[in-house]
Amino acid sequence: MSANADFPLFQVNEDHEAIREAVRDVARDKIAPFAAAVDEESRYPQEAHDALVASDFFAPHIGEEYGGVGADALATCIVIEEVARVCASSSLIPAVNKLGTMPLILAGSEELKQRYLPPVAAGEATFSYGLSEREAGSDTAAMKCRATLDRSAGDDVWILNGQKSWITNAGVSEYYTVLAVTDPDGARGNNISAFVVERSDEGFSFGEKERKLGIKGSPTRELILENVRIPGDRIVGAPGEGLKIALRTLDHTRVTIGAQAVGIAQGALDHATAYVKERKQFGTRIADFQGIQFMLADMAMELEAARQLVYVAAAKSQRSDPDLPFFGAAAKCFASDVAMKVTTDAVQLLGGAGYTRDFPLERMMRDAKITQIYEGTNQVQRVVMARQLLKG
């Protein structure tokens, strides 16, 4: 689990800091003012969407050859972190665009990349990811969604039937990477393929929006596939490689969930620190009480440790280091646990005020919880890490 000898673990350079400053301005001026309403109304953060498109932070990971800005993995994490600092729902826009397109970037044909990446880079379309099912969450290889090859018309056509659950930004996104079993009799895990499904495909529809504890501005819905005919050139990678591609994708994108968790925690710490410096009890600022100071110190210490781990994992993602599976899982797991703890402590620091919607802390605490669950529960992350360690 050591660093590549030819590279530092990570290096935050002037370009990264310039990106941080720019996205922080956008988040403060164009996203934060709408965050409470987005949560209260459970509506898609269109204001954030438009601001991210206008500033080239909508899908910053897409390369210049496809019309994107070509931000590296660390820069992309900084974008997500800074947006999550004010609105976790909005930070899922660049995060899910990376999640949905990463299978194409890793394994798609050049034709697929040229067809689907430029519209996302230009902000004309969003891209979601369809892996989980009702009975195939952590056990992804148990999926029931099927894709059957039809050559009756001459050209290869895949017919998809089934459903996908818990799909972020479903109904908003134009494109979806969908995983389906293509060889029911094949070896478990080696019989799944990945496809690009378009929102306009006949037979493709969505379930009702889930009613969630947090990230209420990001619609979560089922994908419903009923005899959806997909041209053969929309398969991502070779038949049977889908699950391997999906798991490689998660190695990279778990890092971005770590970044989201860091951003949520930083926003909570910012608000809590400002509050305790103003709030007075017993004739003095509560920030002057040693017990409060210890809480703030622990929150900041754990948050900074999480940030450093996420940045290390981002650098490994950029280089595709062989130990990325361990570090991606560790970054997501540790940062999300820290986010849950920091946001809970931030609510505590505000006392009764923290429990009300007059302050954003209760929203941040609710939003933080999902980071321990999606893209693999933290229990699964520990399994991933342990397996990597046992491999040696």
Parse the chain into domains and list their residue ranges: 14-126, 128-242, 244-391
* pLDDT confidence tier of residue 3, bands split at 50, 70 and 90: very low
User: For the chain, what percentages of helix, strand and coil (3-state, to nearest 5) are there?
Assistant: 55, 15, 30
* pLDDT confidence tier of residue 291, bands split at 50, 70 and 90: very high
Looking at the predicted structure, is the pLDDT value of residue 272 above 90? yes
Fold of the domain spanning 128-242: Butyryl-CoA Dehydrogenase, subunit A; domain 2 (2.40.110)
CATH, domain range 244-391? 1.20.140.10
In angstroms, the CA 310 to CA 312 distance is 5
In angstroms, the CA 226 to CA 159 distance is 8
In angstroms, the CA 283 to CA 162 distance is 63
* pLDDT confidence tier of residue 4, bands split at 50, 70 and 90: very low
Provide CB contacts within 8 A for 85, sequence distance 6+: 24, 27, 263, 264, 266, 267, 270
- Class of 14-126 per CATH? mainly alpha
In angstroms, the CA 168 to CA 146 distance is 21
Read off the pLDDT of residues 331-363 as tens digits, 9 standing for 90 and up.
Answer: 999 999 999 999 999 999 999 999 999 999 999
In angstroms, the CA 93 to CA 218 distance is 8
Residue type, 76: T
pLDDT value of position 211:
97
Active site residues: 375
Looking at the predicted structure, is the pLDDT value of residue 9 above 90? no
* pLDDT confidence tier of residue 143, bands split at 50, 70 and 90: very high
* pLDDT confidence tier of residue 153, bands split at 50, 70 and 90: confident
- Chain mean pLDDT for the chain: 96
**DSSP single-letter state for residue 39:** H
